[in-house]
Structure 1
Amino acid sequence: MEDLIRRYAQLIIQSQLKLRPGDSVSINTEAAIMGFARYLAKEATMVTGQTVTIVETNHGKVIEAIPIEPEQQEIFRPPVQAVVMCHLFDLDASPYLQDLDLGKAVEDVGLLARFGHLSEPVFLDRRIAVAWANVPYPGNQWAANVLGRNASEEETWLLFGALFRLDSDWASSFWDEQANLLEYRKQRLNALGRVDIKLIGDGWECRGSSADDTQWAGGRQMLKNGRIFSPMLPMQSIHVALDATSTQGTLRSSRPFYVLGKEVIGATFTIRDGKVTHFEAEQGKEALAAFFSIDEGAARVAELSLADNDTIESRYLGRSVHAHFAKEMTTTLVLGGFSLDTLKTQQTEDDIVQSKLNQSLVRLEIPVGDDHLSVVLTKKDGEELEVVTEGVHRN
């Protein structure tokens, strides 16, 4: 297990944040995983030669800032070049399955955040200008929810290590190659311009259109200064915002997913003019109803996320128990708020309205990918391009 922890820290440093000499790193964490935060900070100082600051928080409130000093004396340290941010979070801090009053749960913003349902706030004048990463830390409760049984610490780290490819010292190379693959897919799809999108599953079909003046996003990001970084791992998906009024048809969830602490199984949806007008579920229908009651946009289609259905993530994550992994395990249709990284030139609220982007306080990923899924794009000139066949992206 110690070796996996060492490799995980190096993966964050080398592949996610791509730390350089002179980087000033800030690590935000809660007390439960302070041990790993200190270890990561010490490893980071060996690369940056600069002080790394650990910011301990409790439910979002800052408790204290802890400086971790490098071995070099201050006179020998490189000058500060850039600010880098890292948010560590404990996967066991998620409430997972809960027996809650759903009526009260939908009114508690803090609880919605813990469930991973909150959308990104739409701040158009505040784009990220620093490299950053959201970094999960595994726990037995998370593993038990994924595996459907109690899990030992060793089993937890074996599962987590498989998802992050920590079985060798080549994990950074693997994720760098994966970033290149996703970059190629984004460039290829963005070159098509605005497209109509048809999803065909086993006994269902729905259609929609990408939103005006938006782009396929996901995977690796680049700052204006050319610096690249990966906001999250694992990364398998790319996503596009949909015209909030365009989606029509039916769909069926391909695997269980969690809503407000309830497991939803066998969900089906009818969508008209971009909004869910009817839904059923073998289990968890009351949770879906509560979610859709939060605001008008909660039941409206916001996004399509494409991820292959033959990956380790798809095989190991049989159910979507944590929002961090939801889009990476298979193709999903997203309800609620859109992702800001899909924007291109929008500067005002009027621009958002004109692009027909869906805004909601919350969002929900509905898994639809399986071995039967096909995704067909139609360009303005009528040319069709099948980008997903039998659940797998056609590169």
Structure 2
Amino acid sequence: MDKLKEYAEIILRSGINLKEGQCVRIRCGVEDYHFARLLGQEAYRMGSGYVHIDILDNYLDLSRFSYQKEEQLDYIPHFLIDEGRVMLDEDWANIRIDNVGEGNVLKDADPGNVARNRRALGRELKFFNRSLMADEHSWCVVALPGKSWAEKVLGKGATVEELWDVLKPILRLDRDDPTEAWEEHNNTLHARCDRYNGLKFDRIRFRSEGTDLTVGLSERSLWCGGPMPLADGRLYNANIPSEEIFTTPDWRRTEGYVKVTKPVSVREKMVTGAEFRFEKGKVVSFRAEEGEDALKEYFDTDEGASFLGEIALVQNDSPISNSGLIFHSILYDENASCHMALGAGYPSCLKDFKELDSAEKLKDAGCNDSMVHTDFMIGGPDTELTAYTVDGKEIPLMKDGNFLL
């Protein structure tokens, strides 16, 4: 219980940075409800105005995708839309506990049905997701060790406590003062971003086995990492843990080919061995050893799903990567490797983004527009990364997967 309370405090203080009177929504799977309740109790103790818990139930979704008629899958109840608008108007903080325990439940669902429903949901709640991605309200994604997740990561018969032992150093719960440890780590990420922003990159090139990818940046692109600022000056962490620095590339300027180095869940289906080829920013061909049909459905979501919205740098020598494990949670696996996201870009990673007050202006500035955003890991121990500045300089950034600067 002490360990869970310590974890809850990190999420509430370093994650959403809860302020006095602020309301909180917590989304979680069934087996994580006990921790959501604890988060809510601690939030009330810290002065929250109201706490609401939503249950994410993949088993119920599986029944919907199996039995409903196609047109029924488009139905999104209006109260969900109203709820989103109220939460934005009242500046609610949002916490999502990754439903890792039910990660395989939808693997056999019809990918077309899943895609149709997710398109409808993304269309109706695009205003809400766009607001969070613009850092207008605090949000945080975390994961909680459970029996099923422990066995996915460590093998059959693994215990929750064994998984906790793996996660403690990753979450910095093995430190005397975890909150202070996170502050020190965030300062390191901020310093790295400041250095890179000062160098004014025009494009960066990834090279490794199966990858030769050049990603162009816009003149507004900013490197971000660690806590992000809110309008009232508070800082929050969208992901715990986080090892990355990231930026919004110019969606029109990606060229080359890339091999995905870790499995990733797309449309609730596991995709392994994926490869993509880009021309003029767009994915023009793709393949996968497993889950290729899910990729096809993903690209059919909208035009923006075929373009990059984010590029992130993570060195190979990091706590998550050094564990040598696949966590089957994008929250953890993306923080073990450099990655790219297909779909929506982050407006807050553009200089003076508040001036870009429409989707058209954001897109003109290089920020991709889409209803989806999915990360694909592309880094590894052989990754070499080179940056090219706007004034023509060539700067090596990574060798053997680790930062040089």
Query: The TM-score by the shorter chain falls in which range?
Result: 0.7 to 0.9
Which residue pairs with 2:173 in the alignment? 166
Match of 2:54 in 1: 57
**Residue 309 of structure 1 aligns to a residue in which SS?**
coil
Matches within 5 A, 1:235-384: 235-316=242-323, 318-319=325-326, 321-344=328-351, 345=353, 346-384=356-394
| RMSD between aligned residues | 3.2
Query: What TM-score results when the alignment is normalised by the length of structure 1?
Result: 0.81
Checking the alignment, whether the CA contact within 8 Å between 1:242 and 1:301 is kept in structure 2 is yes
CA distance in 2, matches of 1:360, 1:39: 35
Query: How much has 1:385 moved relative to structure 2?
Result: 1.6
Q: 1:83 to 1:39 in 2, by over 3 A?
A: same
Amino acid at match of 1:229: Y
Does residue 39 of structure 2 align to residue 40 of structure 1?
Answer: yes
Q: How does 1:3-22 map to 2 (within 5 A)?
A: 3-18=2-17, 22=20
**Structure-2 change in CA distance of 1:282 and 1:40 (3 Å):** closer
Segments of 5+ residues of structure 2 without an aligned counterpart are 57-76, 81-89
Q: Which moved more, 1:376-385 or 1:91-100?
A: 91-100
What are the ranges of 5 or more consecutive residues in structure 1 without an aligned counterpart?
Answer: 63-81
Amino acid of the structure 2 residue aligned with 1:248: E
The alignment status of 1:104 with 2:101, answered yes or no, reads: no
How many Å separate the matches in 2 of 1:235 and 1:225? 23
Q: What letter matches 2:4 in structure 1?
A: I
Letter of the aligned partner of 1:85 in structure 2?
Answer: A
Write the distance in 1 (CA, Å) between the matches of 2:130 and 2:28: 26
User: Aligned equivalents of 2:404 and 2:397: distance in 1?
Assistant: 5
Give the equivalent residue in structure 2 for 1:176.
183
Percent identity of equivalent pairs: 26
* Matched-pair contact (CA < 8 Å) for 2:25–2:51: yes
How far the C-alpha of 1:220 sits from its partner, in A, is 0.8
- What CA distance in whole angstroms lies between the structure 2 residues aligned with 1:248 and 1:119? 28
Distance (Å, rounded) in 2 between the aligned partners of 1:121 and 1:257: 24
What one-letter code is carried by the residue in structure 1 that aligns with 2:111? L
> Is the CA contact 1:255–1:318 (under 8 Å) kept in the aligned structure 2?
no
Residue identity matched to 1:101: D
CA distance in 2, matches of 1:239, 1:275: 20
Deviation at 1:250, TM superposition (A): 1.2
Residues in 1 aligned to 2:366 and 2:141: alpha-carbon distance in whole angstroms? 29
In structure 1, what residue type is equivalent to 2:276? Answer: F
| CA distance, structure 1, for counterparts of residue 9 and residue 186 of structure 2 | 17
Aligned residues: 368
Aligned letter for 2:381? D
Listed as ranges, the matches of 1:141-156 within 5 Å are 141-156=148-163
Q: Is the 8 A contact 1:17 1:84 kept in 2?
A: no
2:95 paired residue among 87, 91, 112: 87
Instruction: Tell me the amino acid that sits aligned with residue 210 of structure 1.
Output: L
> What secondary structure, in the 3-state scheme, does the structure 2 residue paired with 1:108 have?
helix
Q: 2:18–2:48: 8 Å Cα contact kept in structure 1? A: no
TM-score scaled by length of structure 2 = 0.79
